[in-house]
Chains A and B, each alone.
Chain A
Amino acid sequence: MSDESISTRRSFLKGGAMLAAPLAAMGAPAAALAASADADERADRLARLEDEKAIRALHGDWMHRLSSGDRNGAARLYANDACAAAVAGIAAISPGPVGAQDALEIAADGRTARARHAATVETETVIAPDNTLAQMLHAQGEGTVRSREARMLAADYVKTRDGGWAIAGLAFETV
């Protein structure tokens, strides 16, 4: 998988430089082909940039919906039911910590993508209402324990039929 990703995946490292193709060494007979290839390359690069932008926007939208309690809204961004299960117990998620780098790789066919997002995750554990004190906590709108910690979010994305992107997989890793 890792070898394949080197040769076939287009990689973007947030905050890093993108590699340009070594065009200067090309000869004249190849100019037409080169021009054509150059056009393809530009189109490909543009498409890639648009995909990256769309996925970043999707990630931001998803974080906002999840953190604001709009679980249904977040679910509309998922490609499958497993994604909702993956965020059970998570009350909020925000970018960071500052300085951590996100990575995004889009597959060569442009149909799937994989990202790693540095995140601060706020988890919420419900206190079982099996005694009076806990029941009273719930009655006054509390009864949960929240904690925050840095996590790395591994996210998979798939392109939808309408050309947009959906979240296909979510996994949180401790850092």
Chain B
Amino acid sequence: MPSKAPLPKPMHRLNYTKLTEAQISAALRPVAAAGPAHASPLSDEFAGQSVKIVTDNGPTLAYQFSSDTRLTLSENGGSAVAAGYGALVHEQICFFTHLIPGTLRGYAVVIDRDTKAATVVEVWFGGFEDKREVMREIYQGYVETAGSPAPTKRHEANNRAEGKAWYWKQDNGWATLDYWSTTAYTHWVELSRQSEMGFSAPADYIQISEDFYIYTRTECEFSGSFTLYVADLNRARQIGMRLGFDWGDALDYYVFRGKGEWLGQIAQFEKFGDLRGGPLKPNPQSTGQANAAAADSKGARAVYRPLRTMTKLTKAEVDKVVKEKTRVFTNRLGAGNGTGGMGVHALPASNFLIGKRFTLRYDSGLAMDYRVESIDSLSWRKDGGAWTKAIYQAFEPAPGVILFGHLLEGEPNHDGHSIVVDFDAGLVTCFNGYLNGPYIANEAQARTLFGVIEMEGVNTPLYRRHQRTYDLVGRALTWNYSPTVTSMHLYSTPATTSWIIFTADGAGGLEWSGPGDFVKIRDDLYFAYWLEEACNGTLGTIVINMRTMHDAGIGYHCGSDGLSMSTVGALGRHAGKFDVQRFFESRKA
């Protein structure tokens, strides 16, 4: 059963053991014989029965169930093998799972008692670079009934489930938020562990009927564990299983029942029946798919593995590339100066700051003095030190609100400031990016600084400050950076930004996520960031104007091509909002 103890580090920072086949085999041996653990009573639906399942392009499985915990299986007419199993039934949905003793594999089977249609999911430890990650192959078929023709109806992978979110609490006490983000990916939050962040993983969504869907999640790039459940959409009930090794290498193999809540439905932008977003096959030629399996191999799926392909630099290498290759707002006065076209829809550069002198006094004690000389040149000094010239870029996302950014040349950690100043309110918030963090030297880290502006003509507040906000928690906003590049942000927790990449037809595809922070600047105006931790290391900062649905942003990144600060800008659409804020209210300071 799952441990509810908080993880020692966030999930993306853990070093998961590369388990050997022998280690996995030893751990599986007892549970293969005994069957999965369970908190609720197992069903005796199958006890005493023989069931033959025929799949369209996969195995034929002949089962004999001697009790509610023991079965024998003959695969494709082969020798019968005895194993332990566990079954659960909900309405007309019958589910059972078992491992095959002496192997690293097993099955999960979902049968609709009314139609006799069956989904067979073969699972095995064998994924990717070591055996830890659970693989899956899904077969559609039916339960053979003597004297009756084979049914033609099958369960179906489609995009009908996309865009929903659920709160689930299993009978073992394990609670999660599950976002059914795209037809290829899911995003989940481990409430039981008080996880600050949500994470993203490849998924399957298979429709059984209007009421019932099969959901799978493989926690690739994390523990590699596999979860499968059948969700009853109307009754908000689930039955399912989990198989895998947790972060401490303890084996989880259990079945569960769960009760939940439907948390909402956000917009879908592709046509019904469009499966271009998923299930996705791997594209081994692409960056981020290192060592991907061939697209037609068993169990193959597209998995985003960014940490594997991210360029990782040492502190010395960072110092070198910063010295030799720093690029700040290259082509800064024209459209398209963002990396990879992320600035095509940027706001025009603002001349608001030209000629102004002011001090940004942060509550941390940092004082930054500024003299702004032109539309792209300013001088700054820190805590009364020497003046330094810097290239900057400013935007005015709302009247009197200026977003501007610059690098702090000479700082040991190569800091960059992305700053929002409300000249009407006298308030400032800075997302301070910096390098040389504890994990990867060129991975951006971020701290949030609150403060005030001191300038002639501005009434500087003594007590008021910008505040962190939960307003965006649960929101999904699509950001169109250029005519063909769209990402949807899903702010899944108060500290998470997840991003979903759209296909050309508007279907959600791959998804990933990182830490986020969210500050309210004015009504309907927010300053937010996403941090690509363990994923290319970029800090993306944006001012979200919910009235104009246009953001203005600044990116901060260090790689082998140097340190860069670049323009970001996108046109937005509101995809909807999930009812999830309440799950985090108790965490407010």
Contacts and interface: CB of A to CB of B under 8 A. Distances in A.
B283 A141 contact: yes
Nearest to A133: B487
B442 to A, nearest CB: 14
Interface stretch (B191-199, B379-387, B497-505): B497-505
B283 A138 contact: yes
B306 to A, nearest CB: 7
Contacts of B339: 130-131
A100 interface: no
B325 to A, nearest CB: 13
Contact of A142 (B285, B289, B503, B512): B503
Interface string B249-275: 000000000000000000000000000
A139 B283 contact: yes
5 contacts: A133-B340, A134-B340, A135-B306, A140-B277, A140-B280
A145 interface: yes
A128 interface: yes
Given A127-B341, A133-B340, A133-B499, A143 B286 contact: yes
Given A132-B536, A133-B499, A145-B484, A139 B286 contact: yes
A71 to B, nearest CB: 15
Given A129-B286, A131-B340, A136-B501, 4 more contacts: A138-B287, A140-B184, A140-B277, A140-B503
A137 interface: yes
B277 to A, nearest CB: 8
A139 B308 CA distance: 13
Which are the 6 A-B pairs with shortest beta-carbon distances? A138-B286, A134-B340, A140-B509, A131-B340, A136-B501, A135-B288
B552 interface: no
Interface residues of B, number: 38
Contacts of A137: 485, 501
Contacts of B340: 127-131, 133-134
A140 B341 contact: no
Contacts of A138: 283, 285-288
Interface in A108-149: 127-143, 145-146
Contacts of B532: 132
B481 interface: yes
Contacts of A146: 484
A111 B354 CA distance: 69
Interface in B100-133: none
B393 interface: no
B287 A140 contact: no
Contact of A130 (B184, B487, B561): B561
Scoring B286, B499, B509 by chain A CB atoms within 10 A of each residue's CB, the highest score goes to B286
A146 to B, nearest CB: 8
B550 to A, nearest CB: 18
A146 B487 CA distance: 18
A76 to B, nearest CB: 24
Contacts of B503: 140, 142
B55 interface: no
B561 A136 contact: no
A127 to B, nearest CB: 6
Contacts of B87: none
A84 to B, nearest CB: 20
Interface string B487-498: 100000000000
Contacts of A130: 339-340, 561
A50 to B, nearest CB: 43
Interface in B467-495: 481-485, 487
Contacts of B555: 131
B538 interface: yes
Contacts of A133: 340, 342, 481, 485, 487, 499, 501
Interface string A19-31: 0000000000000
A132 B512 contact: yes
A151 to B, nearest CB: 21
Given A131-B538, A136-B509, A141 B287 contact: no
Contacts of A128: 340
Given A137-B501, A142-B504, A132 B481 contact: no
B302 A135 contact: no
Contact of A136 (B304, B342, B483, B484): B304
B403 interface: no
B485 A135 contact: no
Contacts of A145: 482-484
A146 B483 CA distance: 10
Nearest to B511: A136
A130 to B, nearest CB: 5
A126 to B, nearest CB: 11
A130 B341 CA distance: 10
Contact of B538 (A132, A140, A142): A132
B538 A139 contact: no
Contact of B510 (A127, A129, A131, A136): A136
A140 B342 contact: no
B230 interface: no
B485 A139 contact: no
A137 B288 CA distance: 10
Nearest to A137: B501
Nearest to A141: B283
B485 A136 contact: no
A162 to B, nearest CB: 37
Interface string B515-548: 0000000000000000010011010000000000
A145 to B, nearest CB: 5
A148 to B, nearest CB: 13
A143 B510 CA distance: 13
B287 A135 contact: yes
Contacts of A129: 286-287, 340
Contact of B306 (A127, A132, A140): A132
Nearest to A132: B536
Interface in A1-50: none
A139 B283 CA distance: 6
A165 B258 CA distance: 70
A122 to B, nearest CB: 13
Interface in B172-186: 184
A136 B202 CA distance: 13
Contact of B280 (A131, A132, A141): A141
Contacts of B512: 132, 136
Given A127-B340, A130-B339, A132-B306, A140 B485 contact: no
Contacts of A127: 340-341, 484-485
